[in-house]
Structure 1
Amino acid sequence: MSATQLTALARTSDPHAALRRFLALDAVVTGVNGLAYLAASGPLGRLLGVERDLLLALGVVLAVYGAAVGLLAARARPAAPLVRTVIETNLAWTALSLLALPLWLSPTAAGAVWTVLQALTVAGFAVLQHLALRNRQDISE
């Protein structure tokens, strides 16, 4: 993806704003997902075929992580090492989600689809954040 395509996707020509928007989107999606797991762990657990306690634990982790990413997104110039940590965490989440399907989980069909879709979404955030960070660094040099 070129810098022009990336900034068009973020609807800004400011590389700092593009990075902040991709971080903010990640924070909102992650936070909402976490809150949904906390608020509706029973019904979601039955739908997805995942234990209620696991969803509660994931809900806490995701809500806290989403808030932390949101705080990073609120900075005028998010620090590159912290952004890289978010990217690496997102990639680790993606890998663990996909590994959990055959190794630890026995989800329903809806749960299997949900697990793959959320893993791909998180991977997409990592890619967009990486490209935006790289674009910001290229422009700064």
Structure 2
Amino acid sequence: MSPILTSPRFLSRVMALDAASCLLTGAIQCAATAPLSALTGLPSALLGYSGLFLLVYAAAAAWMASRAVSPRVLIALVAIGNLGWALGCLVLLAGGRLQPTALGAAWLGLQAVVVLALAAAQWAGLRATSPRCRPVMQA
């Protein structure tokens, strides 16, 4: 087992990274909804509302990152939510209802890749620090 994954700070660092990525994405989507919509071919309502969600989520993720003890159940829910977000991005890309530009497809694809990586790191950290996964010391 990697000592990085078993570090007591690993999950909080992953959550801080998750918060930072959501803050940046949400801020871009909220501050530049109309221009981003024109560049990506994505509906401005989708960008604006998902941007607001990301800003609220970023605050929650930052709170989780700041805890002395990682809130494992909440982080597990976040990992599941990240999988759902990635799936949603892929459905938007493949569903045919939207006609994103190349930049729009890249925007959705990048979000899918980033949140899948975050979900994988969150699951790995949860598994590595689970009391059931720790080796028992023999006397």
When the two structures are superposed, what TM-score results if normalisation uses the length of structure 2? 0.88
Pairing of 1:75-94 with structure 2 (within 5 A): 75-94=67-86
RMSD (Å), alpha carbons: 1.7
**Corresponding residue of 2:128:** 135
**Corresponding residue of 1:3:** 2
- Per the alignment, in what secondary structure is the counterpart of residue 9 of structure 2? helix
Identity of aligned residues (%): 35
User: Could you list the runs of 5+ residues in structure 1 that have no partner in the other structure?
Assistant: none
Larger Rg: 2
User: Could you list the runs of 5+ residues in structure 2 that have no partner in the other structure?
Assistant: none
Q: Please identify which structure carries the higher helix content.
A: 1
> Contact conserved, 1:19 with 1:132, CA < 8 A, in 2?
yes
- Whole-angstrom CA distance in 1 between matches of 2:46 and 2:17: 24
When the two structures are superposed, what TM-score results if normalisation uses the length of structure 1? 0.87
> Contact conserved, 1:48 with 1:108, CA < 8 A, in 2?
yes
Runs (4+) of structure 1 exceeding 3 A deviation are 138-141
Q: Deviations over 1:14-54 (max 9, x none)?
A: 62201100110011001110011000111111111112222
Give the number of aligned pairs: 133
Pairing of 1:73-112 with structure 2 (within 5 A): 73-103=65-95, 104-112=97-105
